[in-house]
Amino acid sequence: MEVVVYGPLRGATGAKTVHVDVDGDTVGAALDALVATHPRVEHHLYRADGSLAPSVRVSVDGERADPEDPCPRDATLSIHPAMRGG
């Protein structure tokens, strides 16, 4: 699956678009695959309790999505982490 990342996630993945092998069919499974492939993204996405940070925006083929939503393997997942600064 193609994952497009923005902001500080680019530094954590080394590229704007990365490919991950997803074992599952949900947004959460895709996020897990991204973290497994690029562990440095985890602290940008999740709170200390393991839940997705409320400021993180995830979309599947341009439509906003939550971790439990379906995510077809041929979809493009986009992730916008919280941005800091002014």
pLDDT by position in tens, the chain (length 86): 999 999 999 999 999 999 999 999 999 999 999 999 999 999 999 999 999 999 999 999 999 999 999 999 899 999 998 665 54
Any domain includes 23:
yes
Domain count, the chain: 1
Dig out the tokens for 15 from the structure: 């590229």
- The range of the structural domain enclosing residue 10 comes to 2-80
Any domain includes 19:
yes
Any domain includes 86:
no
The sign of the torsion formed by the CA atoms of 58, 62, 64, 67 equals negative
Cα Rg of the chain, angstroms? 12
Q: What is the CATH number of the domain that holds 8?
A: 3.10.20.30
Any domain includes 85:
no
Tell me if the pTM is above 0.75: yes
Write the DSSP string, 58-70. EEETTEEE-TTSB
Any domain includes 22:
yes
Q: In whole angstroms, how far apart are CA 41 and each of 25, 86?
A: 20, 22
Any domain includes 24:
yes
The sign of the torsion formed by the CA atoms of 11, 17, 21, 26 equals positive
